[in-house]
Structure 1
Amino acid sequence: MALNHIITCFNSFDKDQDGGINLEEFRLICQGLFRNDRGIFYTVAPEKLKIMLGIFDKNLTGALEFEEFMFCWYNWFKYIIHPRSVCIVVNMQNDYLNGVMALAATGFAEAAAAAAAANPGQGETEEVVKQDQKPVNIIDTINQIIGCDFEHIYYVMDHHPSNHISFIDNLSLRPLHPASKVSEEDAKLYDTVVFALPAPYTQKLWPKHCVENSWGSELDMDLRISSKGTRIYTGTNPELDQHSAFRDSTMPVDGSFHQELSGRNITDVYVVGASLDMCVRATCLDSLSLGYRTVMVEDCCKVMNPLAVEKAKQDVINKNGVIAQSADVKNMTEGKDRRPEMGYVLAIRLRDYFKNRETKTEPA
């Protein structure tokens, strides 16, 4: 029955009945595939259409023959319509919401406001500050989307030892490199120094935060903890300051968290939390580099530096990530709102998977 259905679909899209799906016919498939829950079509860029068709056109005929169409059906169409999604909740801890890192965010906002005041008429800067000053309870918004169709929820938590390299209080514990433009005597919060480790190590200085087993490291008491949830602790190595959930203190970008997601056959990663311009951004970029269709949920994110927000979002967009709002998440996780950027990322992941197989390396 399934095979007959695939044959019927293939024949219906093969408008000229030449036994292959050419670029125009593939465009019509994508037009029906990439649309929102209201039936409005998303536009797929012509150059990306060509790239995607080329990925699936293994025989290099310029069209998809039936076997190639079947591969698309089971490995591409299937996961676009029925995605397997997880939500990564980043740093929703007391210190980020009510403690020293919340105060740090206030300091950045004040600096942005001062920049706006010093440059009157700079509409973009003034608008960023205005937006940042709007009261937002992201815990309530995050709690709402946790109930969406996720396979699993990951609560990523800073869990620093008290002698962590990022703490300004620990500046005297490690020598500075001669290349450091800021001396130990002159260093202030949020300055950037260079430590003389085995290799020069550049580090922004933060207040002591999320120290292991402290109140500040605990998740906010109002955050919804899913029965499908797992806690992941980051920043446990005192000599490293990692911002991405995929870069724990003892593993590179392709370490155990990636293996965990691969083991669950996850296609889509949604990232929320603190802060949009730092840890959320870094997690999104690593997720995209590993081939996951990645969504930054903007109104579920807290901001550290309001002047860095637009660049952070553009960085994600440039890598074919999606910036969405919490109201979009339910339909996206249910496969009712299907974005072309996410289809493109999946096609690239499939291309890389088969390249790895051909060179006998481990797939992503």
Structure 2
Amino acid sequence: MPNSTSLPLNDPRCALIVIDVQNDFIPGGNLAVAGGDEIVPLINRLAPRFRNVIIAQDWHPAGHASFASSHPGRQPFDTVQLAYGTQVLWPDHCLQGSHGAQLHADLQLPHARLVIRKGCNPQIDSYSAFVEADRQTPTGLAGYLRECGIDTVYLVGLALDYCVAWSALDARAAGFNTVLIPDACRAIDLDGSLKRAMAQMETAGVQFMEAKDLMNL
């Protein structure tokens, strides 16, 4: 498999995956990521350089098991044990069909080939665009990429230390060349989660490249 940086971004084997750039993760949203809106112009500059663009979108039913409101007496950012392990509890966010679940209005990705919605199972969270939080249920994204002959993915979006990092780790586990673009992401950084996520990605072989460097290729 070629090194990802040896391929031009518009090579049909490359794809840009834009993760969860949705209103509820933007300042003012129910689960806002600081500076989340700042990445939108950069993504809009990057995306036209890729032939293949894929969007991942959080898409929760009401009463989702990952919501603190579904667990009486619990508060957002508490943890509970669910059937698949420890789950961080979140404020209600990205409810199916809601304004909060919509993509940021300024995001310009008209040539995106696929929107993959995750977190739809009311009993299982899904940070990753590849595998749900039970670590057993695939979303189908890996199969789609392989069917399209894509072997190299670049990741941007929100939040770096959760949905983006989990997606990057699962992309590597599935055998894809994986590049994280840190300046086109923002993190929650809950109790050191950003440092842990960056270390895990580095160990897994995820590459890191700044958007400004990619746009000079």
Taking structure 2 as the reference length, the TM-score comes to 0.87
2:18 aligned with 1:89, yes or no?
yes
What is the one-letter code of the residue matched to 2:161? D
Determine the C-alpha separation between the residues in 2 that align with 1:221 and 1:257. 24
Give me the whole-angstrom Cα distance separating, in 2, the residues matched to 1:146 and 1:302: 17
By how many angstroms is 1:80 displaced? Answer: 3.9
The structure where strand makes up a greater share of residues is 2
Shift of 1:322: 0.8
Q: Hey, what's the Cα distance between the residues in 2 that align with 1:296 and 1:146? A: 14
Residue in structure 2 matched with residue 170 of structure 1 by the alignment: 70
What per-residue deviation string (whole Å, max 9, x for no partner) do you get for residues 142-179 of structure 1? 1111111x23111100000001001111114xxxxxxx
CA spacing shift, 1:232–1:166, aligned 2, 3 Å = same
Q: CA RMSD in A?
A: 2.6
Q: Identify the residue that residue 101 of structure 1 maps to in structure 2.
A: 31
How many equivalent pairs are there?
212
> What letter matches 1:101 in structure 2?
L
> Runs of 5+ in structure 1 lacking a partner?
1-74, 107-133, 173-184, 337-364
Report the structure number with the largest CA radius of gyration: 1
Query: 1:234, 1:249 within 8 Å by CA — same for their partners in 2?
Result: no
Distance 1:276 1:255, change over 3 A: closer
Assess, with a 3 A threshold, how the Cα gap between structure 1 residues 77 and 304 changes in structure 2: closer, same or farther: closer
Runs of 4 or more, structure 1, over 6 Å off, are none
Which residue of 1 is the match for residue 164 of structure 2? Answer: 280
Specify which structure has the higher proportion of helix.
1
Deviations 1:225-244 (A, max 9, x none): 23243211100000001110
C-alpha displacement at 1:317, in angstroms? 1.3
1-structure distance, mates of 2:176, 2:200: 16
Of 113, 121, 127 in structure 2, the residue corresponding to residue 229 of structure 1 is: 113
Q: Is the 8 A contact 1:254 1:290 kept in 2?
A: no
Q: State the alpha-carbon separation in 1 of the partners of residues 36 and 69 from structure 2.
A: 31
How far 1:135 moved relative to its partner?
9.3
TM-score (norm 1): 0.53
Deviations 1:245-270 (A, max 9, x none): 00258994655211110011112101
Does the alignment pair 1:138 with 2:39?
Answer: yes
Aligned mates of 1:226, 1:294 — CA distance in 2? 23
Q: Report the CA distance shift for 1:251/1:213 in structure 2 as closer, same or farther (over 3 A).
A: farther
Q: CA deviation at 1:203?
A: 1.5
1:273 Cα deviation after fit: 0.5
Give 5+ residue unaligned stretches, structure 2.
none
**Who is 1:260 aligned against?**
144
Deviation, structure 1 residue 310: 2.6
Aligned to 1:326: 211
Over 3 Å counting, the alpha-carbon distance change for 1:167 and 1:270 in structure 2 is same
